[in-house]
């Protein structure tokens, strides 16, 4: 399978702390890759490096054959930050239209993106007046509006009700089927099962990289939560 | 920089402001109230009113646009929208000029309304043209925008951002020649006032007040203010980093 994202020996410091310590992984094109790990394990930092807004100490990140953050990539990447990053003092539609216009797209594309996240009904509302779940969907709409080839989603389904979460995952699946590469972080194991591949990350180290099924087989359990735990214990034993 | 992205960014910033009706009302009305206050303060001294009101027409837009821009840009930095914009085709200059032009347009409206009140209701009398007064006022507003963009880089919270207003604005107002003529200041104060851009815009306004036709000094002063705007924008661009720790 063709590689969309290639991370090689990536070292990143945030403040005085080293967050990623020579991180290496590859992410295949047209797939949904889940980035799993506890809070503070380096998920967001890795994602920031992939979209090219993170200062890197050493190592290399290549996206679609170009260095991360390079000019040609800026038309091909969609990034959803963990906290919704939309303009509170614009309506949902105005936000979507602004981000659409940055890619040279028009009002119809903006409306389609809103439809995709189930926000058409709230298009005229100011983002500042929305509920938390709606806000993060507004933010998601602005990430997918440019029809990116690589979509980096930092916890996209936090605060969404189960029905909506299901619909959003159907949407991600459809985007991947169209050829988009999706990197999505989560700490909900139920979502991990929906990914094509999982990267398990802990304390800035990659401790697992396989399909959900294979990870469960290796760990000898049908429960991903338990599998994650066993992998951590095995690694700790190996280290000790 | 792309003309299309610049235009759409200007539209976005103006739209944000338009949704905040109270802020728009404050931008337009506050200078009018302050001018009214001045008018009644100097009821008996119309010549003094002419001098001070003219300078105030330049100072109000500077202060107000500085405040609005530093908060708007700080929000862009803290809300994550700036980080996201830097993953899109937006260029730094699209953002800087977007803010400069959007708030410059608002400042033009503000200066036009305030000048109209001063000239037609309060009989402000200047030898030179009203248009020059508005041009200088707008240049001052854009100077405020440029310094606001720059200062927002040094504030982490809105509390800190508003504190930059007295730091940046008050020394310039004290030393611009409004309270003490710059020539009669102590040498070191005069030297400081020489490097503060507001000194030149106030001098330019005073020239318009005293001469029927635009003078060489006025054009030179306006040029210096524009130079200060470009310098502040360039420094502001240096504080905008696509990659952060």
Other Cβ atoms closer than 10 A to A109? 19
Strands A17-28 and A3-14: antiparallel
Segment B106-161, tens digit of pLDDT: 999 999 999 999 999 999 989 999 999 999 999 999 999 999 999 998 999 999 99
Residue B66 has pLDDT above 90, yes or no: yes
In this prediction the pTM is 0.90
User: Chain centroid to CA B186: how far?
Assistant: 27
For residue B206, the model assigns a pLDDT of 94
Give the nearest partner residue to A55 out of B88, B90, B245, using CB atoms: B245
Q: How far does the CA of residue B19 sit from the closest CA of chain A (Å)?
A: 6
Share of chain B above pLDDT 90, in %: 82
B245 neighbourhood in chain A, CB within 8 Å? 13-15, 54-55
CB contact B20 to A (< 8 Å): yes
C-alpha to C-alpha distance for B67 and A98, rounded to whole angstroms: 25
| Arithmetic mean of pLDDT, B75-91 | 93
Nearest-by-Cβ selection for B80 from A14, A78, A85: A85
Pairwise CB contact (< 8 Å): A81 & B80: yes
Specify the pLDDT at position A51: 95
Render chain A in DSSP notation, one character per residue: --EEEEEEEEEEEETTEEEEEEEEEEEETT-EEEEE--TTSSHHHHHHHHHT-B--SEEEEEETTEETT-GGGGGTEEEE-SS--S-TTSBHHHHHHHHHHHTT--HHHHHHHHHHTT-GGGTTSBGGGS-HHHHHHHHHHHHHTT--SEEEEESTTTT--HHHHHHHHHHHHHHHHTT-EEEEEES-HHHHTTSSEEEEEETTEEEEEE-HHHHHHHHT-S-HHHHHHHHHHHHHHHH-
User: Cβ neighbours of residue A34 under 8 Å, at least 6 residues apart?
Assistant: A184, A185, A186, A191, A192, A194, A195, A197, A198, A199, A212
Residue B181, pLDDT > 90, answer no
> Are residues B242 and A69, on separate chains, in Cβ contact within 8 Å?
yes
Report the pLDDT value the prediction gives residue A1, as an integer from 0 to 100: 66
Q: What are the pLDDT tens digits along chain A (240 aa)?
A: 689 999 999 999 988 899 999 999 999 999 999 999 888 899 999 999 999 999 999 999 999 999 999 999 999 999 999 899 999 999 999 999 999 999 999 999 999 999 999 999 999 999 999 988 899 999 999 999 999 999 999 998 887 888 888 888 988 999 999 999 999 998 777 788 899 999 999 999 999 899 999 998 988 888 888 888 888 888 888 877
Mean pLDDT of B87-95: 93
User: CA A72, CA A75: separation in Å to the nearest integer?
Assistant: 6
Judge whether A69 is closer than 8 Å to chain B, CB to CB. yes
Residues ≥6 apart with Cβ < 8 Å to B49:
B38, B39, B41, B42, B122, B124
CB contact B3 to A (< 8 Å): no
**Is the Cβ of B4 closer than 8 Å to some Cβ of chain A?**
yes
Q: What is the C-alpha to C-alpha distance for residues A72 and A66, in angstroms, rounded to an integer?
A: 8
Interface of A with B in 193-232 (CB under 8 A): none
Which residues from A are below 8 Å from B83, CB to CB?
Answer: 48, 53, 81, 85
Could you tell me which of A218, A214, A222 has the C-alpha nearest to residue A231? A218
Instruction: Kindly identify which residue of chain B lies nearest to residue A56, measuring between CA atoms.
Output: B245
- As given in the structure block, the two tokens for residue A100 are 């659409």
Residues 43-82 in B contacting A (C-alpha not used; CB under 8 Å): 79-81
Place of tokens 């050493």: A58
Contacting residues of A for B88, CB less than 8 Å apart: 74, 99, 102-103, 146
What is the rounded CA–CA span in Å between residue B14 and residue B41?
35
How near does any CA of chain A get to the CA of B124, in Å?
38
3-state secondary structure A156-225: CCCCCCHHHHHHHHHHHHHHHHCCCEEEEEECCHHHHCCCCEEEEEECCEEEEEECHHHHHHHHCCCCHH
Closest CB from B5, B81, B87 relative to A53 = B87
Q: Which residue of B has its CA nearest to A95?
A: B12
Residue length of chain A: 240
> Taking a C-beta distance cutoff of 8 angstroms, is the pair A111, A124 a contact?
no
B16 touches chain A (CB under 8 A): yes
Q: Pick B19's closest partner by Cβ from A79, A89, A103.
A: A89
The pLDDT, as a whole number, for residue A97 is 97
Asked if A18 reaches chain B (Cβ–Cβ under 8 Å), the answer is: no
């Amino acid at each position: 399978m063709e590689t969309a994202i290639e991370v090689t020996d990536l070292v990143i410091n945030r403040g005085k702390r080293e967050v990623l310590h020579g991180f290496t992984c590859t992410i295949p094109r047209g797939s949904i890759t889940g980035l799993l790990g506890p809070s503070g394990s380096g998920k967001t930092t890795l994602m920031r490096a992939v979209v090219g807004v993170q200062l890197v100490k050493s190592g290399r990140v290549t996206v679609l054959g170009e260095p991360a953050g390079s000019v040609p990539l800026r038309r091909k990447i969609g990034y959803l930050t963990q906290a919704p990053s939309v303009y509170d003092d614009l309506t949902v539609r105005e936000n979507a239209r602004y981000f659409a216009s940055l890619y040279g797209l028009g009002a119809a594309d903006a409306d389609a993106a809103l439809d995709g996240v189930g926000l058409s009904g709230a298009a005229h509302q100011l983002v500042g007046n929305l509920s938390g779940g709606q806000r993060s969907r507004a933010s998601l709409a602005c990430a997918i509006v440019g029809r990116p080839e690589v979509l980096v989603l930092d916890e996209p389904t936090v605060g969404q009700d189960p029905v909506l979460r299901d619909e959003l995952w159907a949407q991600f699946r459809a985007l991947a089927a169209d050829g988009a590469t999706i990197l999505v972080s989560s700490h909900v194991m139920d979502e991990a099962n929906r990914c094509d591949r999982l990267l398990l990350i802990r304390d800035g180290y990659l401790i697992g990289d396989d399909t959900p099924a294979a990870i469960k087989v290796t760990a000898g359990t049908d429960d991903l939560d338990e599998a994650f735990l066993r992998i951590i214990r095995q690694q700790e034993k190996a280290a000790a | 920089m792309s003309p299309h992205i610049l235009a759409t960014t200007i539209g976005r910033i103006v739209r944000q402001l338009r949704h905040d009706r109270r802020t728009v009302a404050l931008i337009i009305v506050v200078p009018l109230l302050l001018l009214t206050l001045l008018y009644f303060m100097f009821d008996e001294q119309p010549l003094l009113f002419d001098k001070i009101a003219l300078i105030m027409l330049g100072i109000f837009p500077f202060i107000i646009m500085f405040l609005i821009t530093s908060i708007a840009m700080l929000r862009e930095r803290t809300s994550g929208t700036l980080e996201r914009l830097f993953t899109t085709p937006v260029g730094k200059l699209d953002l800087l000029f977007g803010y400069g032009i959007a708030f410059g347009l608002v400042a033009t409206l503000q200066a036009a309304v305030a000048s109209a009140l001063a000239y037609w209701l309060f009989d402000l009398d200047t030898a030179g043209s009203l248009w020059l007064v508005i041009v200088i006022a707008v240049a001052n507003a854009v100077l405020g925008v440029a310094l606001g963009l720059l200062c927002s880089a040094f504030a982490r919270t809105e509390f800190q951002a508003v504190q930059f207003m007295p730091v940046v604005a008050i020394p310039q107002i004290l030393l611009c020649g409004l309270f003490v003529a710059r020539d009669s200041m102590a040498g070191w104060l005069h030297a400081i006032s020489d490097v503060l851009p507001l000194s030149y815009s106030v001098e330019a306004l005073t020239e318009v007040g005293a001469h029927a036709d635009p003078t060489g000094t006025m054009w030179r002063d306006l040029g210096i203010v524009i130079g200060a705007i470009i310098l502040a924008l360039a420094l502001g661009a240096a504080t905008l980093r696509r990659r952060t720790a």
